Amino acid sequence: MREVKNYIDGEWTEGKSETIERYNPADQTELVAIVVGSSVHDVDEAVFAAVKAKKKWAQTAAPERGAYLQKVAHLFEQYADELAELATKEMGKRFVETKGEVYRSAAILRYYAGEGLRRVGEVLPSFDAKNLFFTKRVPVGVVAVIAPWNFPLAIPIWKIAPALVYGNTVVFKPALEASATGARIVELFAEAGLPSGVLNFVVGRGSTIGDAIVEHKNVDAITFTGSNAIGSEIAKKAAARGAKYQLELGGKNPAIVLKDANIEFAARLVVEGAMKQTGQRCTATSRVFVEKEIIDVFRAHVMEQVKRIRVGNGMDEQVTMGPVVSKRQFETVQRYIHIGTQEGRLLIGGGASDDVGWYIEPTVFDSVSHRSIIATEEIFGPVLSIVEAASIDEAIEMANDSIYGLSASLFTNDVSKALYFIEHIEAGMVQVNGETGGAEPQAPFGGMKQSSSGTREQGQAAIEFFTAYQTISIRPHPNM
């Protein structure tokens, strides 16, 4: 069991309001963390520390800022097992999944360490021949990082790393369900010697301290990943006071399987896309549109794949799907499964058990209309809907008939159809013959429509959000 405190100006401090007990979603008898529930006053202190540190950090040479990230990357690898175990016990996904996330985080840290050596501006031609005319990227200032629980390591890192390397100071608020993992991340930055006040950490309930962070006059930018409901409120509040904001939100990601595809392969990847991490990925496959000529064969392969899934505690090596994160998520997913039994045909799964942990069977519905509730709303659980399509055009039309546009995939062996899909699908992340999930540190990540506020995270695209442009003219003395 870990006691999770705030980290403000280089000191671990008690919160001022309450303590919150957090139990392992795989085994509700195991107390994983006691988290301080911070107050608005704690937020003030954290922001004050970030403001105090910002000038010196912005003036620190960028390669030196990057060197801290290198050290943290190394520490992530050194403590890989311990970090993965903590994350698994705190939010339930399998140890192999959290361990993969540890290494992914290390790769992200190394990528952004390298950003400390790359260009941060360009020289432009000028109508005045003597003008040295150039742009320079400068830090935004104090950045608030508000993260969800489903990638408790990688998402905080892909926000904190670019924020720091581009010269910003940070106030980091993890999801309540990822507080202990968040604290461990901050400990590693402290172990790497990051100066006090550069990275501050405030834990507690978003409902209590969220507004204080988002509306704080000294928070210059907010990078948020989470639900559309909270994200849209953050956008309004940030815009009202002219603060920069970045939102990565929900998804209802489609896969399309054409009759020329390798059907067994497609079924395997669609099930993987839907059930990996218990379906709790913003990029999870939740709708699959299948050409009618192959739907019977596809359905049979899906059943076969789902039957192989073993639900249980993510620390058990034999288990292939962990619990959902919380009672709230357990109830939400069950509610959607109930709706699904009225809207479609339950092909497999549908069961749930809360005797030990929050366990839900991988569930597939068939004969679903693309406009039904289960095929339009984000469920964020191990539930897949199969929808019959008459053609690639109908499949794409139904796939695009969504408020979301995060990721999409197509299974085909016809390159012309792949190109047609890429041209017409409304999604930020597009896969051909791959599952809907997946991101790499060097590539921009994000969605279209209501899945994102439009900017991109990761890769060099991150510079857009974490810096501001300065456009500079230097002219010689008129006599020169």
**Cβ closest to ligand NAP, residue 15 vs residue 447:** 447
Nearest residue to 452 via CA among 248, 253, 222, 244 = 248
Catalytic residue among 248, 361, 378, 457: 248
Q: Which of 33, 46, 145, 146 binds ligand NAP (CB under 6 A)?
A: 146
Under the binding rule (CB under 6 A), the answer on residue 332 touching ligand NAP is no
> Does the footprint of ligand NAP cover residue 225 (CB under 6 A)?
yes
Which pair of tokens denotes residue 111?
């990528």
Q: Return the DSSP state at 217.
A: T
* Stretch 264-303: interaction string toward ligand NAP, x if CB under 6 A: ------------------x---------------------
The SS3 of residue 406 is coil
Dihedral sign for Cα atoms in the order 329, 332, 335, 340: negative
Say how many residues touch ligand NAP, by CB under 6 A: 29
Nearer to ligand NAP, 358 or 380 (CB): 380
Q: Which of 214, 375, 389, 408 is in the footprint of ligand NAP by CB under 6 A?
A: 214
User: Is there binding between residue 150 and ligand NAP (CB under 6 A)?
Assistant: yes
Q: Which of 35, 44, 40, 45 is nearest to 10 (CA)?
A: 45
Considering only 90, 366, 378, 426, the residue that binds ligand NAP (CB under 6 A) is 378
Rule CB under 6 A: say whether 210 interacts with ligand NAP. Answer: yes
Of 147, 194, 221, 375, the one binding ligand NAP by CB under 6 A: 147
Burial of 30 (0-12, 13-18, 19+ CB in 10 A): middle
Q: How far is the CB of 387 from ligand NAP (least distance, A)?
A: 20
- The DSSP H or E segment spanning 146 is strand 142-146
The verdict on whether 115 is a catalytic residue reads: no
Query: Quick check: 175 binds ligand NAP (CB under 6 A)?
Result: yes
**Helices H / strands E in the chain, number of each:** 14, 24
Cα 372 to Cα 310: distance, rounded to the nearest angstrom: 29
Residue 230 binding ligand NAP, by CB under 6 A: yes
Query: Whose CA is closest to 86, among 198, 177, 222?
Result: 177
Q: Which of residues 399-458 bind ligand NAP (CB under 6 A)?
A: 406, 447, 451
Q: Is 205 in the site for ligand NAP (CB under 6 A)?
A: yes
Number of CB atoms found within 10 A of residue 443's CB: 13
Q: What are phi and psi of 408, to 5 degrees?
A: -155, 150
Shortest CB 441 distance to ligand NAP, Å:
14
Stretch that binds ligand NAP, among 16-24, 205-213, 361-369, 463-471 (CB under 6 A): 205-213
Which one of residues 37, 148, 314, 382 is an interface residue with ligand NAP (CB under 6 A)?
A: 148
Backbone φ and ψ of 3, nearest 5°:
-95, 125
Closer to ligand NAP by Cβ: residue 48 or 224: 224
- Give the CA distances from residue 17 to residues 14, 26, 210, in Å, rounded to whole numbers and listed in that order: 9, 28, 15
> Between 70 and 436, whose beta carbon lies closer to ligand NAP?
436
227 binds ligand NAP (CB under 6 A): yes
Contact between 68 and 210 (Cβ < 8 Å): no
Using CB under 6 A, pick the residue from 15, 92, 139, 226 that binds ligand NAP. Answer: 226
CA separation, residue 291 to residues 181, 299, 301, 304, 407 (Å): 43, 11, 15, 19, 20
Which residues are catalytically annotated? 248
Interaction site with ligand NAP (CB under 6 A): 146-150, 173, 175-176, 205-207, 210-211, 214, 225-227, 230, 234, 248-251, 282, 378, 380, 406, 447, 451
